[in-house]
Amino acid sequence: MEKPDSGESIFFQDDRFGVLWNFDPDLDAASVYPGFERLCEELLARFGRFCDEVSSAGGSRLVVKVAECVYTNEIPEVAIDTYAFGILTGWNQDYIANPSLREGTMFSRHYHSEGDKDRPVWVSATAEGEDIGITLQLVTRSEAEGELSPESGIKVAHDDLIRTFVEWTSEGMRQNWGQK
């Protein structure tokens, strides 16, 4: 289900239920990020209604085991070689650009937030061509062997996402995106 004028979509498939938000400068309602709190409230409200509908139709009680946050952003002002060097050096050294390293380059890392096996993190950065600009994707999860509270699970995943964003971007990048 989509709200075409807002940049928002709600989806469910097999084992997933989610809210997507996409930036679109041509849509007033999608030109400013509505914030995690509002998107989370909408997700939880719609998921609650979905669970009620499944239950009233005689279906099984739904059990949440994973909450996930995904952040994907185009970063036009940074080349992949410069980005990789910044990550590896903590943004503390000057770098001489090497455009031959750019085309089709990708790097990624998978680890667990704060060493907790129930909080996996995936980070990837890709470059399409020799020009500057990358796509950065961060995926964080909160998992449970048994049942996970949807609200606390998504908040843990979001907190890990914010922490990962800060770890994987420079101060200058964050200032360009409006971090105060």
Which pLDDT score is estimated for 107?
85
Q: Which stretch of DSSP H or E encloses residue 88? A: helix 80-89
| Cα(110)–Cα(124) distance, integer angstroms | 9
Q: What angle do CA 136, 31, 161 make, to 5 degrees?
A: 35
Dihedral angle computed from the Cα positions of residues 178, 89, 128 and 179, in that order, rounded to the nearest 10 degrees:
-10
Which pLDDT score is estimated for 2?
46
Domain locations in the chain as residue ranges: 1-62, 64-180
Residue 10, number of CB atoms within 10 A of its CB:
16
64-180: which CATH topology?
Alpha-D-Glucose-1,6-Bisphosphate; Chain A, domain 4 (3.30.530)
Instruction: With cut-offs at 50, 70 and 90, classify the pLDDT of residue 163.
Output: very high
The token pair that represents 164 in the structure block: 């990962």
Q: What angle do CA 6, 139, 115 make, to 5 degrees?
A: 145
Look at the block and give the residue holding tokens 């062997």.
Answer: 145
Mean pLDDT of 130-142: 88
Mean pLDDT of 25-39: 74
Rounded to the nearest integer, the mean pLDDT of the chain is: 84
Which pLDDT score is estimated for 93?
87
Task: Give me the amino acid identity at 42.
Answer: E
